[in-house]
Structures are given as structure tokens and as C-alpha cells.
């Protein structure tokens, strides 16, 4: 816990996670074909910002400005309540108890999910995968931490997720025991920060993006196993529209 947020306040913030889910509208969408990213803005009036927005995500991180960014405080507890194959990704939903603090602001951890390949690029380079940790505060604003993923040493938590992930889209089911989200974070916590959006419909521009510099390593066979289920579930790079990207 950092000096900006009391234990009582953080406990209250984490209660926001219970029962909360990100809205995705009612229209069917996917990552290719006539319902793919280039058409999202036309599928539903709720998705219009996917086409008209000026702060869309993901972006290619280039020329970030050095800044005295506050450290991110991760206060994650082991054990998500459920896992779901929602037809777009594998997502692990959390009950109250886990949170993030940054610059005096607290956010409840709602869920984390995966993209294959990575959505963000660094200097034009993409990565095999990316994990997004989605958080919400009292005001309804979102902070999403992104961790890039590359092939290397096995990661026991990601391996457990891959082995137990539902193979077909359906309702949430109980997640495997002992899944610790901290194990999906890199040792170094330097990060890029910019104002952006959800990378899926409705593409709402309400996200404070915190993209970690250092990728995490996971086993190549686990990446391949996820890729068989979701060969491509990454939104293409969006225009930065001269947004400021800061780096710690």
C-alpha cells in the first residue's frame, strides 16, 4: 500500500469489482470479415466511436516523452472467481479484493484477458501476445495495464490457464485454483502512459493506458495452444492523432 491510499479506501474501491462487466453492445462483431475491425463503427450506433474517435487504441509506441510518472502499486490477490471463453478471448473475472494504485488514485481489478498477437507495438515491433488487466475506479474511469508476452521460460500460471481454458464460447465457469495475476507481471515496472480507448467495441475513450516496458516470458507451446483457439484476436494499430505518450 502506498502513502496516497489508506487500507480502508482501497477495500472500498475493490468492492466495485463485484458484479461489474464491460459492456460490448448488442451487435455481433469479430476480428475478420464483414464484422471485423474496419466495420465495427457501422455495426451498431453504440460502436460509432470505433470509427469517429480520436483517442483510439491500440497504438504503436514511438517517441515517448520521459516524465516523472508515479509508480504503479499492484495489490493483487490469488484466485479469480471464474474463467470465460466469450468468443473473443479467454477472460478471468475477479471478485473484490485486488486493486491497483497510481498517483493517488485507486482502481479495482475487474478482469484480465489475452490477445494474440499483441495489440500494442513498440517502435513498430509486435509481440506474440499481450495480457490486459482491466481496472475501474469510483468515477467509472478505467485503467488498463498491458503486459507484452514473448516466448521464453515457462510461466506456470499461464500454463495453468491454457490447460484449463474453455475450448468453446459459453457461460463463465469456475477457474482453476491458484491463479495468481502477479505471476503475469514482469519484474521491472517501468511503463508508457497515454489516453486511449477500449480495444473492442464499443471502443469507449475512457481508458488510462499503462503499458509495461518489459515483456513477460511464457512457453512457446502455450502461446501456440492459445493461438489454435484464437489465431488472431488483436485490433489493428490506430492513429495516435498527436497524442502525448509518456514513459517512466
List of residues 6+ apart from 99 with CB closer than 8 A: 10, 13, 14, 75, 76, 106, 107, 108, 109, 135
Cβ atoms of residues 199 and 58 within 8 Å: yes
The alpha-helical segments, DSSP class H, found in the chain are: 7-14, 40-43, 49-52, 156-164, 220-229
The predicted model scores a pTM of 0.91
Q: Has residue 1 been placed in a domain? A: no
As beta bridge partners, residue 73 has 101
If one counts every other C-beta atom within 10 angstroms of the C-beta of residue 150, the result is: 15
- In order along its 248 residues, the chain shows pLDDT tens digits of 333 333 434 344 343 343 334 545 568 999 999 999 999 999 999 999 999 999 999 999 999 999 999 999 999 998 777 999 999 999 999 888 899 999 989 999 999 999 999 999 999 999 999 999 999 998 889 999 999 999 999 999 999 999 999 999 999 999 999 899 999 999 999 999 999 999 999 999 999 999 999 999 999 999 999 999 999 999 999 999 999 999 99
Q: How many domains does the chain have?
A: 1
CATH number of the domain residue 168 falls in: 3.10.200.10
User: Domain range holding 72?
Assistant: 7-247
2 belongs to a structural domain = no
Note whether residue 189 is domain-resident. yes
Q: Which residues are catalytic?
A: 88
Amino acid at each position: 500500500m502506498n502513502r496516497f491510499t489508506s487500507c480502508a479506501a482501497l477495500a472500498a474501491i475493490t468492492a466495485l469489482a463485484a458484479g461489474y462487466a464491460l459492456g460490448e453492445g448488442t451487435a455481433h462483431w469479430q476480428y475478420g470479415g464483414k464484422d471485423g475491425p474496419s466495420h465495427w463503427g457501422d455495426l451498431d450506433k453504440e460502436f460509432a466511436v470505433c470509427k469517429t474517435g480520436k483517442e483510439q487504441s491500440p497504438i504503436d509506441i514511438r517517441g515517448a516523452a520521459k516524465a516523472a510518472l508515479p509508480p504503479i502499486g499492484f495489490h493483487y490477490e490469488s484466485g479469480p472467481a471464474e474463467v470465460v471463453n466469450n468468443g473473443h478471448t479467454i477472460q478471468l473475472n475477479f471478485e473484490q479484493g485486488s486493486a491497483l494504485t497510481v498517483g493517488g488514485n485507486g482502481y479495482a481489478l475487474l478482469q484480465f484477458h489475452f490477445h494474440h498477437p499483441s495489440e500494442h507495438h513498440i517502435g513498430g515491433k509486435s509481440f506474440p501476445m499481450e495480457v490486459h488487466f482491466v481496472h475501474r475506479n469510483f468515477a467509472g474511469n478505467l485503467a488498463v495495464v498491458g503486459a507484452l508476452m514473448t516466448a521464453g521460460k515457462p510461466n506456470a500460471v499461464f500454463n495453468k490457464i491454457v490447460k484449463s481454458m474453455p475450448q468453446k464460447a459459453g457461460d463463465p465457469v469456475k477457474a482453476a485454483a491458484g491463479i495468481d495475476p502477479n505471476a503475469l507481471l514482469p519484474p521491472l515496472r517501468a511503463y508508457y502512459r497515454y489516453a486511449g480507448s477500449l480495444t473492442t467495441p464499443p471502443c469507449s475513450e475512457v481508458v488510462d493506458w499503462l503499458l509495461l516496458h518489459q515483456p513477460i516470458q511464457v512457453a512457446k507451446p502455450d502461446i501456440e495452444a492459445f493461438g489454435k483457439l484464437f489465431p488472431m484476436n488483436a485490433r489493428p494499430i490506430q492513429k495516435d492523432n498527436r497524442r502525448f505518450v509518456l514513459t517512466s
